[in-house]
A and B are shown apart, each in its own frame.
Chain A
Amino acid sequence: MTTEEILSVTGILLDYLIPTLKVFGFTLLFSIPMGMIAAMLKMCRFKPISWLTNVYILIMRGTPLMLQVIAVYYIIPYLKLAEGLPAPLASVLAGIDIRSENYMFYAVIAAFSLNYAAYFAEIFRGGIESIPKGQYEAAAALGFTPVQTFFRIILPQVIKRIVPASSNEVITLVKDTSIANVVAYAEITLKARQQMQVYSSLTPLIIAGVFYFVLATVLTFLFSLIEKKLSYYR
């Protein structure tokens, strides 16, 4: 490929950085709070809830994200085929165009958030359970309420402990956004494949690789800064 062609492909891929970052950002936005909720539910003393949450986590972590994205994407088309649906539901389904960019985006975000929430849930739970019982007891003996204890004593220590594991997840997520291309969601990897065919060259894939590499490296650097900032105590 000529320099000009490389620049043109880079320009095209740069445009599709936005959808890639949208998947990344919205997945984090939803999966982190969902992960917190799932962590709480798994630690719930009412066993059926804890057990069900665990089943969810096991499935999400035990099957490929790509499979989950495809499954979520095809829920609506297969529902449309089902017979005997109540009329209001059927008409809502009929109004959904699964080829639309919006529908693809929602399906991808739903699948990614459900999947990442399961990983975050385990990280959060591990972090909360790693705080020694003595911290709760000392706080209780000093008269802190349970809410004060959680937010002032426990949570800050949990955050420090989960930063390394969370940073791994976040960096993996940047690269996993490429999985969205299986349902034809237009992001960097999908566009790179198209350009590869246009030019019969691997170069577009290499350019896409550089994009991911830069994003992952920037995130690695940011997280190491956060870790450093939190290293004032052990």
Chain B
Amino acid sequence: MSMLEIKNISKSFGKFEVLKDISFSVEKGQAVSVIGPSGSGKSTLLRIVNQLEKADGGSVSICGTPMITVDENGKSVYADPKTLREARLKIGLVFQNFNLFPHFSVLRNITEAPVCVLGMDKKEAEQKAMELLEKMGLAAKANEYPCNLSGGQQQRVSIARALALNPAMLFFDEPTSALDPELTGEILKVIRGLADEQMTMVIVTHEMAFAREVSDRVIFMDKGVIIENGTPEEVFEKSENERTRQFLQRYNNS
């Protein structure tokens, strides 16, 4: 059973087709990197799976449960609210801009969802949050407010916040793009650690060296289609595709 199975997803904004017939799956314990030029639809794809955007056509299954199915015309049909809610909780999402809740302390940012959404006991949630903060090297910051943290620290809190709901997989949408280069490393280290623990992950990133090193598979998207879907070696070294080579060329030169 795949953790995530995406079939023939399409999406348009008005007349503009952002995703065209996207299909791929993610197996348990895999880290899959999604690379591609700006505007190729990477974020939109993650957002559809997280229900922040609606698909026009195609289907999505999460941990074997259909979240979106298709009718006879291939149009997307959404599951009932309860199923959608459960599907959403199986995925932790980490944003480019962290999106921490500024009015909550670091600790409360992490405990709020387990307590309010899962109904976890507050003490238990706090204990779990402290363990996660420990793991992120931020135990000392538990009572700070997000505005007093560096970007790298905020992003680590947001990873802890996502992990606090015990998701089956984590999605990252350019987790280091809003960070100064010297802070990028600390986030990549955390993600590498999660990969070592066999966390299932989908990582949209512009960090090519990192994608190559950490992923089991790499997906290259351009203009709403998947051009490559293979091992890092296949995509980064052996690709015969003109567009792939051009894209990678640009990164090697910069």
Contact = CB atoms under 8 A, between A and B. Distances in A.
A134 B113 contact: no
Contact of A141 (B88, B112, B118, B146): B88
Contact of A137 (B99, B145, B158): B99
Nearest to B92: A141
Contacts of A139: 101
B47 to A, nearest CB: 8
Interface stretch (A37-45, A86-94, A151-159, A214-222): A151-159
Contacts, number: 61
Contacts of B208: none
Contacts of A144: 113, 116-117
Interface residues on B, range: 20 to 34
Interface in B86-114: 88-89, 91-93, 95, 97, 99-103, 112-113
Interface in A31-72: none
Contact of B101 (A135, A137, A232, A234): A135
A156 B117 CA distance: 19
A142 B117 contact: yes
A153 B92 CA distance: 18
- Residue of A152, A232, A233 ringed by the most chain B CB atoms within 10 A: A233
Interface in B196-242: none
B161 interface: yes
Contact of B161 (A135, A140, A142, A160): A142
A148 interface: yes
Instruction: State which size class the interface on A falls in.
Output: 20 to 34
A153 B145 CA distance: 15
Contacts of A148: 116-117
A138 interface: yes
Contacts of A152: 112, 116
Contact of A160 (B91, B103, B146, B147): B103
7 contacts: A135-B99, A138-B95, A138-B158, A140-B50, A142-B117, A142-B162, A160-B103
Which 5 pairs, one residue from A and one from B, show the smallest C-beta to C-beta distance?
A138-B99, A134-B99, A142-B113, A143-B117, A234-B147
Interface of B: 50-52, 85, 88-89, 91-93, 95, 97, 99-103, 112-113, 116-118, 145-147, 158, 161-162, 165
Given A140-B51, A144-B116, A234-B147, 17 more contacts: A132-B99, A134-B97, A135-B101, A137-B95, A138-B95, A141-B50, A142-B113, A142-B117, A142-B161, A143-B85, A143-B88, A143-B117, A144-B117, A148-B117, A157-B103, A233-B102, A234-B145
